[in-house]
């Protein structure tokens, strides 16, 4: 019998229900028993499944994934899950975005691909535009506030998101998808299924896609290409298999320029703006027109004339769109397997290798006779870098911070069924990331574009007089995880009560090698130079200080630490406990506790030679009710999280890097309600409601100051205790209504997000917003084309003006008289970030997709 291209019959029978619920092959196997006791509801309603688990979890299947726009990021799809808020940077999903779950930012959410971690090994960031093509995703599941016991994550306090690749079909076939939309959007996706090519069931698929569109505002474009393949080999009669998959993704994007609060005040003529909302049409147009410059004017080099590329007409190159770019090459190879040793003993092993090369662009100007160019040469007057025969000029360079990661991960589980009611699991996880962070300077072409998007790393480097490579960062980090975990699952009272108890024992080790000097105090920005450096403090000089040096307001010049090596180890014990009790066949209650842990980000550990930073820890409690039938999936959860030592990260768009700040303890509580019902055969409704009360518990130290009449520096605090966590809406409400009449299907999905604060001090607030997306599909099934349809998607249907991502900061002003810092004289400046930025949401965008299956 023929099957749909998405999966083969044999795989569907063995793996489909469980696969939607877990991450690794081991977790899938362990949770298979959930499916056995919930067969009536595992297919879900309208692509939404509420698994009969001991913890809050939501699953979205390809039925819902396929209704989103072609090529859309899978993280935008989960925006309909209660407790989740994703802000997309454009309408098509290729420009990135920001994910939050219960107020936790993406750096604290473990994103996995077939069970393997995708978070950056240095700062745990998530890159939503680098995900698998949605046509290849079978399902995505979201754990709210918890993770699986074998999860190879260093940071999952906010929960996990895992998506799973489809299995090759049993029969030969294929899919061709062509999309066209506004902003000159073009996308083509193709896939071939080989079907079973051997007598023992070997099958494969190969897929490729390419997408390109203009930015919806400002000059520049978004380009993406992706390639995928998978070979799947079942063996035996009990579901054992081997699978090998490959993935490669390349992005070449121009950044959007996000206005800061200072920019917004200027653009709108509201110099005292604190509520970022209520703009007139004219003000919206002014904000919408604010972006990077379309032209970079570089002067023609002239011998004997001092030319400055940082001034005059050339100053526009600071925000030239050709330098505000985000190139990335990412790829992985994935191996999954399952073996049955005996009827009650199974073994699973997954392994992957990942490769990342990426940066965030950037530009710098510097004089040719600067000390960094003279380097260690005592006789050099500088370096002629623009070829005019002199060393008088200030020249512009391409100066990206490039990251290159090579990562090996192994996840294994031994699963033993003592009886039908008692299952034990022992798991071992290995994860090693080699994280190379460099900043090799590169040259620009005559039009201001970089000669190579990866700067001097892959292109022509900038050299000092002594031959030294000019760079602004030079680090090598090894992030190593060895983890042992155990799990027990017991069923009692005729399977009505299910108890899960687990413990994760990760052993984290961070090996750091900083090959450059680094600025003392603050973020520890690198100072890479071969110029001679002294050790005596002096104004307007750079000098080396000991590891215990403390920067004060009276510190002279630029003190730097010498290059250093460091090692950090963390070994927490992370227990979890959950239960699920079936009150009736359809109604169940569940409760869970999980201790979470986030090891300090590797980037944070480079601030100075020794960083005494405590890891972030959480204690999360959940309790709820779940009602599941073939026509209804309803889940209501109340939760509480206590967070210690929280560090907040925000992106510095000028420097092209992320910077951090510690905001102390955070306490969060709230509830999530998700509903999916099919009251009529042609009508499906899904709704979600979430309330989040997450607040800082401590005042935030932002630096030191010396009171008038005193010579003793004192710590400087601003009153953040009791303030709401930044970028976290108190209320989110969403729904999707879908109808089907013969070959025509249509859906409307809506998301309301309440106001969010842009600063820890809560003195800048971004207003609430509501967006709506529409989709309509015409199926050609009645004309004999079962797998062919035409689909229309409208993003932001009502063309609402709103702000999505927020680059948060400490405060929105450095006028302390406004923010009332109690122990600082009025008029003094607050150290740290005082200028949050805001990303304009994409306007109404229409696209159409023709999908042909055979």
pLDDT given at position 662: 60
> Per-residue confidence at 406, pLDDT binned at 50, 70, 90?
very high
Residue 637 scores a pLDDT above 80: yes
Measured distance CA(116)–CA(132) in Å, rounded: 13
pLDDT given at position 108: 84
Q: Show Cβ contacts of residue 817 under 8 Å, excluding neighbours closer than 6 positions.
A: 826, 827
Q: Which residue has the tokens 């005040």?
A: 265
pLDDT given at position 34: 42
Measured distance CA(186)–CA(850) in Å, rounded: 12
Ranges assigned E (strand) in 273-344? 275-276, 325-342
Give 45-92 pLDDT, tens digit per residue.
Answer: 989 998 888 989 899 999 999 999 999 999 999 999 999 999 999 999
Q: Show Cβ contacts of residue 312 under 8 Å, excluding neighbours closer than 6 positions.
A: none
Give 411-469 pLDDT, tens digit per residue.
Answer: 999 999 999 999 999 999 999 999 999 999 999 999 999 999 999 999 999 999 999 99
Residue 543 scores a pLDDT above 90: yes
Helix (H) or strand (E) holding 29: helix 25-30
Q: Show Cβ contacts of residue 160 under 8 Å, excluding neighbours closer than 6 positions.
A: 23, 109, 110, 111, 112, 142, 143, 146, 147, 148, 151, 153
Measured distance CA(704)–CA(213) in Å, rounded: 48
Q: Which two tokens stand for residue 433?
A: 């990331």
The region of weakest confidence among 41-50, 207-216, 403-412, 842-851 is 41-50
Could you give phi then psi for residue 12, rounded to 5 degrees? -60, -40
Kindly write down the DSSP assignment for every residue of 716-750, as one continuous string.
EEE--TTPBPTT--SEEEEEEEEEEETTEEEEEEE
Average pLDDT over residues 720-742: 95
Q: Show Cβ contacts of residue 603 under 8 Å, excluding neighbours closer than 6 positions.
A: 122, 123, 658, 660
Give the dihedral sign, CA 431/53/687/633.
positive
Q: Which two tokens stand for residue 752?
A: 């309301």
The number of C-alpha atoms within 13 Å of 635 and in the hemisphere containing its C-beta is 29
The reported pTM is 0.91
Average pLDDT over residues 540-557: 85
Give 470-501 pLDDT, tens digit per residue.
Answer: 999 999 999 999 999 999 999 999 999 999 99
Give 272-287 pLDDT, tens digit per residue.
Answer: 899 999 999 999 999 9
Burial track 579-613 (b if 16+ CB lie within 10 A, e otherwise): bbbbeeebebebbbbbbbbbbbbbbbbbbbbeeeb
Question: Largest Cα–Cα distance of the chain, in whole Å?
Answer: 91
Number of Cβ within 10 Å of residue 712's Cβ equals 8
Number of Cβ within 10 Å of residue 294's Cβ equals 12
CA-closest candidate to residue 841, choices 220, 213, 217: 217
Give the dihedral sign, CA 440/445/447/452.
negative
> Per-residue confidence at 603, pLDDT binned at 50, 70, 90?
confident
Measured distance CA(336)–CA(410) in Å, rounded: 10
Residue 33 scores a pLDDT above 50: no
Measured distance CA(678)–CA(681) in Å, rounded: 7
pLDDT given at position 549: 86
Average pLDDT over residues 630-635: 93
Q: Which two tokens stand for residue 677?
A: 């019902």
Average pLDDT over residues 289-317: 90
Is residue 608 within 8 A of residue 565, CB to CB? The reply is: no
The region of weakest confidence among 39-43, 304-308, 414-418, 609-613 is 39-43
Q: Show Cβ contacts of residue 60 under 8 Å, excluding neighbours closer than 6 positions.
A: 47, 48, 49, 77, 78, 80, 81, 139, 140, 141, 142
Give 225-247 pLDDT, tens digit per residue.
Answer: 999 999 999 998 888 999 999 99
Q: At what angle do helices 281-288 and 261-268 cross, to 10 degrees?
A: 130
Q: Which residue has the tokens 């939501």?
A: 58
Number of Cβ within 10 Å of residue 496's Cβ equals 15
CA-closest candidate to residue 176, choices 164, 160, 163, 187: 187
Task: Give the residue with greater pLDDT, 555 vs 32.
Answer: 555
Share of the chain residues as helix, strand and coil, in percent rounded to the nearest 5 = 10, 50, 40
Is residue 334 within 8 A of residue 245, CB to CB? The reply is: yes
Q: Show Cβ contacts of residue 545 under 8 Å, excluding neighbours closer than 6 positions.
A: 520, 535, 537, 559, 560, 561
Residue 40 scores a pLDDT above 70: no
CA-closest candidate to residue 448, choices 323, 359, 306: 323
Q: Which residue has the tokens 């023992």?
A: 200
> Per-residue confidence at 39, pLDDT binned at 50, 70, 90?
very low
pLDDT given at position 554: 79
pLDDT given at position 4: 36
The region of weakest confidence among 86-100, 265-279, 551-565 is 551-565
Would you give the end-to-end CA distance of the chain in angstroms? 15
Task: Give the residue with greater pLDDT, 404 vs 702.
Answer: 404
Average pLDDT over residues 201-225: 97
Average pLDDT over residues 603-617: 82
Could you give phi then psi for residue 355, rounded to 5 degrees? -130, 135
CA 223: distance to chain centroid?
Answer: 19
Mean pLDDT, rounded, of the chain: 88
What does the radius of gyration of the chain's CA atoms come to, in whole angstroms? 28
The region of weakest confidence among 31-35, 414-418, 817-821, 845-849 is 817-821
> Per-residue confidence at 809, pLDDT binned at 50, 70, 90?
confident
What percentage of the chain exceeds 90 in pLDDT? 70
Residue 132 is classified by DSSP as P
Residue 200 scores a pLDDT above 60: yes
Q: Which residue has the tokens 């808020």?
A: 85
Could you give phi then psi for residue 772, rounded to 5 degrees? -135, 140
Could you give phi then psi for residue 170, rounded to 5 degrees? -70, -30
Kindly write down the DSSP assignment for every residue of 145-181, as one continuous string.
S---TT---SB-TTEEEEEEEPPPPSSEEEEEEEEEE
Give, in order, the Cα–Cα distances in Å from 136 to each of 16, 66, 115, 369, 414: 14, 10, 15, 54, 29
Could you give phi then psi for residue 17, rounded to 5 degrees? -60, -45
Exposed, middle or buried, 704 (CB in 10 Å: 0-12/13-18/19+)?
A: middle
Measured distance CA(572)–CA(598) in Å, rounded: 10
CA angle 640-641-647, nearest 5°?
A: 155
What percentage of the chain exceeds 70 in pLDDT? 90
CA-closest candidate to residue 402, choices 474, 332, 333: 474
Beta bridge mates, 741: 744
Average pLDDT over residues 729-738: 96
Give 760-775 pLDDT, tens digit per residue.
Answer: 889 899 999 999 999 9
Is residue 599 within 8 A of residue 567, CB to CB? The reply is: no
Residue 534 is classified by DSSP as B
Exposed, middle or buried, 284 (CB in 10 Å: 0-12/13-18/19+)?
A: middle
pLDDT given at position 551: 79
Measured distance CA(678)–CA(686) in Å, rounded: 9
494-498 long-range contacts, CB within 8 A, separation 24+: 495/37, 495/421, 495/582, 496/581, 496/582, 497/579, 497/580, 497/581, 497/582, 498/34, 498/37, 498/54, 498/579, 498/580, 498/581
């Amino acid at each position: 019998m023929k099957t749909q291209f998405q999966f083969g019959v044999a795989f569907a029978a063995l793996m489909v229900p469980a696969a939607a619920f877990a991450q690794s092959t081991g977790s899938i196997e362990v949770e298979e028993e959930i499916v056995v006791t919930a067969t009536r509801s595992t297919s879900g309603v309208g692509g939404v499944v509420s698994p009969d688990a001991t913890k809050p979890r939501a699953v979205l299947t390809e039925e819902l994934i396929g209704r989103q726009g072609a090529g859309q990021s899978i993280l935008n799809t989960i925006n309909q899950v209660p407790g989740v808020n994703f802000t997309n940077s454009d309408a098509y999903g290729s420009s990135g975005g920001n994910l939050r779950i219960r107020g936790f930012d993406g750096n604290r959410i473990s994103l996995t691909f077939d069970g393997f971690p995708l978070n950056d090994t240095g700062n745990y960031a998530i890159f939503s535009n680098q995900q698998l093509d949605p046509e290849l995703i079978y399902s995505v599941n979201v754990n709210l506030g918890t993770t699986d016991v074998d999860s190879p994550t260093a940071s999952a306090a906010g929960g996990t998101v895992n998506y799973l690749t489809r299995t090759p079909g049993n029969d030969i076939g294929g899919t061709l998808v062509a999309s066209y939309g506004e902003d000159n959007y073009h996308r083509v996706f193709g896939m071939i299924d080989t079907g079973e090519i051997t007598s023992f069931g070997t099958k494969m698929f190969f897929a490729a896609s390419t997408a390109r569109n203009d930015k919806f505002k400002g000059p520049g474009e978004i380009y993406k290409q992706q390639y995928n393949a998978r070979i799947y080999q079942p063996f035996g009669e009990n579901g054992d298999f081997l699978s090998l998959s490959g993935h490669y993704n390349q992005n070449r994007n121009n950044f959007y320029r996000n206005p800061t609060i200072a920019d917004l005040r200027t653009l709108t003529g509201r110099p005292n703006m604190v509520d970022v909302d209520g703009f007139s049409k004219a003000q919206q147009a002014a904000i919408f027109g604010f972006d990077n410059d379309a032209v970079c004017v570089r002067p023609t080099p002239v011998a004997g004339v001092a030319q400055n590329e940082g001034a005059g007409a050339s100053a526009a190159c600071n925000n030239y769109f050709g330098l505000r770019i985000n190139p990335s090459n990412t790829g992985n190879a994935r191996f999954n397997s399952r073996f049955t040793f005996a009827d009650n003993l199974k073994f699973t092993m997954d392994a992957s290798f990942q490769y990342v090369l990426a940066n965030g662009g950037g530009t710098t100007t510097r004089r040719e006779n600067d000390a960094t160019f003279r380097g260690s040469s005592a006789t050099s007057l500088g370096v002629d870098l623009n070829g005019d025969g002199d060393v008088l000029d200030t020249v512009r360079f391409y100066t990206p911070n490039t990251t290159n990661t090579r990562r090996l991960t192994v996840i294994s589980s031994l699963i033993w069924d003592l009886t039908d009611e008692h299952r034990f699991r022992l798991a071992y996880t290995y994860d090693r990331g080699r994280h190379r962070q460099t900043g090799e300077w590169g040259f620009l072409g005559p039009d201001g574009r970089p000669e190579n998007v990866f700067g001097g790393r892959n292109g022509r480097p900038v050299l000092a007089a002594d031959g030294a490579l000019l760079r602004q960062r030079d680090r090598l980090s090894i992030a190593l995880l060895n983890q042992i975990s155990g799990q027990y699952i017991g069923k009692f009272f005729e399977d009505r009560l299910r108890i899960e108890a687990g413990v994760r024992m990760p052993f984290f080790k961070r090996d750091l090698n900083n090959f450059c000097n680094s600025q003392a105090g603050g973020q520890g920005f690198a100072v890479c130079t071969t110029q001679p450096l002294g050790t005596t403090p002096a104004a307007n000089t750079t000098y080396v200080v000991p590891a215990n040096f403390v920067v004060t307001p009276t510190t002279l010049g630029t003190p730097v630490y010498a290059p250093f090596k460091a090692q950090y180890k963390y070994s927490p014990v992370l227990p979890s406990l959950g239960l699920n009790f079936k009150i009736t066949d359809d109604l169940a209650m569940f409760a869970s506790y999980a201790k979470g842990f986030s090891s300090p980000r590797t980037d944070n550990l480079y601030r100075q030679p020794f960083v005494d930073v405590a890891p972030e820890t959480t204690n999360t409690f959940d309790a709820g009710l779940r009602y599941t039938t073939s026509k209804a999936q309803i889940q209501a959860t109340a939760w509480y999280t206590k967070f210690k030592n929280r560090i907040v990260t925000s992106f510095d768009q000028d420097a092209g890097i992320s910077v951090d700040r510690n905001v102390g303890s955070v306490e969060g509580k709230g509830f999530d309600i998700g509903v999916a019902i099919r009251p009529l055969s042609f009508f499906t409704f899904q709704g979600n409601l979430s309330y989040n009360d997450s607040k800082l518990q401590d005042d935030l130290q932002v630096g030191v100051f010396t009171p008038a009449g005193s010579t003793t520096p004192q710590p400087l605090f601003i009153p953040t205790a009791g303030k709401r966590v930044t970028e976290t809406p108190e209320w989110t409400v969403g729904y999707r209504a879908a109808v089907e009449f013969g070959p025509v299907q249509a859906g409307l999905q809506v998301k309301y997000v309440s106001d969010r604060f842009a600063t820890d001090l809560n003195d800048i607030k971004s207003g609430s917003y509501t967006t709506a997306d529409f989709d309509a599909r015409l199926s050609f099934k009645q004309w004999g084309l079962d797998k062919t349809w035409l689909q229309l998607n409208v993003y932001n249907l009502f063309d609402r003006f709103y702000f999505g991502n927020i680059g948060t900061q400490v405060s929105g002003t450095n006028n302390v008289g406004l923010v009332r810092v109690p122990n600082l004289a009025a008029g003094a400046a607050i150290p740290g970030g005082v200028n949050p930025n805001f990303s304009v949401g994409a306007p109404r965008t229409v696209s159409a997709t023709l999908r042909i299956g055979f």
